[in-house]
Amino acid sequence: MLDIRLLRTNPEAVKENIKKKFQDQKLPLVDEVIELDAALRAAKAEADTLRNQRNVLSKQIGALMAKGQREEAEAIKAQVASIAPRMEQLAADEEGYAARIRERMLVIPNIIDETVPLGRDDSQNVEVERFGEPRLPPFEVPYHVEIMERLNGIDLDSARKTSGNGFYYFKGNIARLHSAILSYARDFMIDKGFTYCIPPFMIRSEVVTGVMSFSEMENMMYKIEGEDLYLIGTSEHSMIGKFIDAFLEKGELPQTLTSYSPCFRKEVGAHGIEERGVYRIHQFEKQEMIVVCEPEESMDWFHKLYAYTVEFFRTLDIPVRTLECCSGDLADLKVKSIDVEAWSPRQQKYFEVGSCSNLGDAQARRLGIRVRGENGNYFAHTLNNTVVAPPRMLIAFLENNLREDGSVAIPAPLRPYMGGMEEIR
């Protein structure tokens, strides 16, 4: 959510940013907010005037009563009483204007960083850099579900019976590999100085609207019927929510946290063979990075965070690339975002395995996350990034470590978490 002072002083900059995101249908919201804000301030000014008038009259009543001038005092009491209905109306008007302003401000997109490439959708995202040489093995790489089935590691049929499409049973060494990757990711981030957390897996609606846009919420979140609770789509939601209404001391920043959680997503619109299997599912697990920091440090942290994910994948000998999201592909709260994509030998292309986002002060402004400054309080900046999110990451892992005989090599960093195993057969 933007600072309303920006709309008051430079509405054209806000409109230009909306155009850069190809959301021209939102342009009228800027003028609507400015009009409502003027009405709100006028109502507040009138209410302040009446409040002062009431205070002056109240003092006069006291003075007149002290002098025994009861008749004059009663006349002024009648004046005070006549003010009350208007003050009640103004209070209702203020509440209504404020609610309508917030409703519109929540859907006006954040100001994107000037370095973000302009583009209408994800087809215009820009490759930044590649790490590792993409390999094409001298044998055909099977579909990832087939690899898992040959290793007796997955049961999709039973999951469809119990839960429907988009769910799975992992078993045996594939289940163990799944857990090993998460454990390795946890320790990898702890070694980077991050504090390990396990957060709540459900959050209230005020946190949901604080951490994400309405369109994301509609397409992602599962609501608990009859309760003000939502299943988290990622641990970022509850981890940022941890700081709601917080006043942080400068010495407490940056907050660098790495969190484990299951994640639950509707995944509206999933389709195609590569979207099936365990690529796009309703339930998965993830190790996340979250940073709450000083505004001037957020871009430095942004580059550090996605570099950690690149490093993590390269320790497992998986080729990756970074892809910058263009303006039209950025969620409304984001200032800048880079996806990390892993190489798929089967598809002979890269696919997304993580996303790093700088949200500026958007989440902090919505949730009231402030820093105590020497010259006044100000909003912190928040960032999040995926360390690893199996089972999708398992696709890249299995394809890149598959041998011609059907066995899967276990890279050295994972072996301690796999009981010393060097391969899966």
**Identity (one letter) of the amino acid at 116?**
V
**pLDDT at residue 202 in the model:** 96
One domain for residues 100 and 126 = no
Half-sphere exposure of 7 (CA within 13 A, CB side): 24
pLDDT confidence tier of residue 339, bands split at 50, 70 and 90: very high
- In tens, the pLDDT along 282-307 reads 999 999 999 999 999 999 999 999 99
DSSP H or E run through 424: strand 423-424
One domain for residues 94 and 225 = no
| pTM passes above 0.75 | yes
Q: Which of 45, 77, 105 is the last residue before a domain boundary?
A: 105
Phi-psi region of 138 (alpha: psi -120 to 50; beta: other; left: phi over 0): alpha
Half-sphere exposure of 371 (CA within 13 A, CB side): 21
One domain for residues 364 and 249 = yes
| Beta strands 255-264 and 195-197, pairing class | parallel
Does residue 111 belong to any structural domain of this protein?
no
> In this structure, are residues 329 and 119 in contact, taking their beta carbons and an 8 Å threshold?
yes
User: How large is the greatest C-alpha to C-alpha distance in the chain, in angstroms?
Assistant: 107
Q: What range defines the domain where residue 129 resides? A: 122-424
pLDDT confidence tier of residue 273, bands split at 50, 70 and 90: very low
Does residue 363 belong to any structural domain of this protein?
yes
pLDDT confidence tier of residue 275, bands split at 50, 70 and 90: low
- In tens, the pLDDT along 88-97 reads 999 999 999 9
Q: At what angle do helices 27-66 and 70-105 cross, to 10 degrees?
A: 160
**pLDDT at residue 268 in the model:** 58
Give me the mean pLDDT over the 18-29 stretch: 97
Does residue 115 belong to any structural domain of this protein?
no
- In tens, the pLDDT along 351-409 reads 999 999 999 999 999 999 999 988 899 999 999 999 999 999 999 999 999 999 999 99
**pLDDT at residue 235 in the model:** 93
**Identity (one letter) of the amino acid at 343?**
W
Does residue 236 belong to any structural domain of this protein?
yes
Give me the mean pLDDT over the 191-208 stretch: 96
List the CATH number of the domain containing 43: 1.10.287.40
Among 5-19, 27-41, 156-170, the minimum mean pLDDT is found in 156-170
**What single-letter DSSP state applies at residue 416?**
G
- In tens, the pLDDT along 204-253 reads 999 998 998 767 777 789 999 999 999 999 999 999 999 999 999 999 99
Give me the mean pLDDT over the 121-128 stretch: 96
**pLDDT at residue 75 in the model:** 87
Q: How many structural domains comprise the chain? A: 2
> In this structure, are residues 416 and 187 in contact, taking their beta carbons and an 8 Å threshold?
no
One domain for residues 78 and 128 = no
> In this structure, are residues 287 and 388 in contact, taking their beta carbons and an 8 Å threshold?
yes
One domain for residues 286 and 417 = yes
Does residue 117 belong to any structural domain of this protein?
no
One domain for residues 55 and 136 = no
DSSP H or E run through 336: strand 336-344
One domain for residues 384 and 420 = yes
Q: Which of 58, 74, 105 is the last residue before a domain boundary?
A: 105
Number of Cβ within 10 Å of residue 214's Cβ equals 13
Distances (CA, A) of 411 to 194, 239, 290, 316, 341: 24, 31, 27, 6, 19
Confidence check: pLDDT of 180 > 50: yes
Give me the mean pLDDT over the 300-319 stretch: 97
Does residue 58 belong to any structural domain of this protein?
yes
Among 113-122, 188-197, 259-268, 399-408, the minimum mean pLDDT is found in 259-268
One domain for residues 78 and 188 = no
313's tokens = 């994948």
One domain for residues 133 and 240 = yes
Does residue 66 belong to any structural domain of this protein?
yes
List the CATH number of the domain containing 264: 3.30.930.10
**pLDDT at residue 217 in the model:** 77
**pLDDT at residue 72 in the model:** 84
One domain for residues 272 and 335 = yes
Q: Which of 71, 105, 139 is the last residue before a domain boundary?
A: 105
The span from the CA of 405 to the CA of 315, in Å, is 24
Confidence check: pLDDT of 272 > 70: no
Phi, psi of 414 (to 5 degrees): -90, -15
Q: Give me the chain's average pLDDT, please.
A: 93
Does residue 57 belong to any structural domain of this protein?
yes
Confidence check: pLDDT of 343 > 70: yes
